Amino acid sequence: MNFSDLLTRDPALVDCIKQIRLIAFDFDGVFTDNMVYVFEDGAEAVRCCRSDGIGLKKLHKVEVETIVISTETNPVVSARSRKLGIHCIQGCNNKLERLESVCRKKGLLLSQVSFMGNDVNDLTCLKVVGFPVIVQDAHPDVISSARYRTMARGGHGAVRELCDLFGEVYNKHG
């Protein structure tokens, strides 16, 4: 995706992104298409986009940290996060409280954080971070809280798109 036009039309977006030191991601509906396969034994499986991993490596190169904060407790989330090299917090009933705790430990302000979500349980974080992001197919109740809405749907390269946007800012607007 070419972000040049967007970044030219909105130079404040470039400045906003340059301030971000941490991106916190919801998992279901962001890394996945928000669907779940349930097997006879109750085990679950989800579908993720492989290109997200390549995108996440771009963030690490520009020293933007990443974390997953998920309401669900599911071994699938742990396994995927581990494979992607992302710290994962699961079973989180209060995402904002956990995000604030992470920020305190890292010495970050919420204005230095981006949060990428898709549904109403992400609203508390979306409303307070410096760069709130939602996926294209996010629930209508969160749309007004976003600074950026991906062109890609959750689980279909939305994470990669955000990573590419950051890469564009750092590579061309250094």
Q: For the chain, which domains are there?
A: 4-172 (3.40.50.1000)
Measure Cα distances from 139 to 39, 65, 96, 107, 132 in Å: 27, 26, 19, 32, 14
Per-residue model confidence (pLDDT) at position 120: 97
Report pLDDT digits (tens) over 15-31: 999 999 999 999 999 99
d(CA 11, CA 8): 6
d(CA 40, CA 58): 39
Report pLDDT digits (tens) over 59-74: 999 999 999 999 989 9
- What is the pLDDT averaged over residues 140-160? 97
Looking at the chain, the whole-number percentage of residues with pLDDT higher than 90 is 87
Report the Cα 126 to chain-centroid distance in Å.
11
User: How much is the pTM?
Assistant: 0.95
- 172's tokens: 């061309």
